Structure 1
């Protein structure tokens, strides 16, 4: 009789769970961007769904560029890379919330994409640096799951913030993300 493999994933050491929580929260905040961007652009007379799609591609282009630039940005900012990128991400969300100009939206999305994808590899590095090769595969799989869980959780969280604050408009939600990421960045600078 064949033994059925367990679906339970044991990940150790415990620091991986903390990094996974960080990854989840980071993704919840970042993925507030995508579901409401078209509505934000429509409400601010910045364009229709097609323009929103092009605007979102700016985030992808920024992320693509960050992959090539990461060795340089890591060398330049050293231990301050994460707070600097969170500050940049905050600036991008702040621009989205305050400046209803198409060019500003495109620039903000480039900046957000660049900052976001500059931080992602650092989560994986942090999770795997104290693990064995076998554990590192489990740790990276666990972190990947947190990306998708964060993406799934972003819309309900966005609704929760809108209801709790009494301000469900897109500009306020982007301002909320800007303030949270800036607060975390300032805490990491200290």
Structure 2
């Protein structure tokens, strides 16, 4: 299975310091839906892992969060992509839960749900806590400079082996070019006489 884990706010859609509190406030970033569609068509299983403390803070309820995610799913589907599952942490930092990034609880749940190890699975985020959770889970931490990504880069302290791209579209370009190189190398090995 080719799995990729995506943060939501700042990676797929515009972020807000005031939280995304309604479907109307969910606005996709340029190129993100098409990037997900390209990854889907290349055989990737796409999963979203997102902290949603606005739920725990009472800024919106579970029905509203479901409506936001339904809008995201519909937009991705309209672009030709598929998000296989959405995992979210509803807790605030003071709840001291295991699922809130930078802890790796959501990632452990993803590994269990898909019955797979997360070693070297690309995990894309725009905040340090996204990258820290990915690193702890054994994923490849990928920082995008959309959302809060530029600020995260400037603040430094990134986990080892963090890879940096402008946005989700650039991540898809990289992953798909790597896949193409692998295919070409396999074809070359087959065609060369022994």
Q: Considering the TM-score relative to the shorter chain, is it more than 0.5? A: no
Higher helix share: 1
Higher strand share: 2
Q: Give the structure-2-normalised TM-score.
A: 0.27
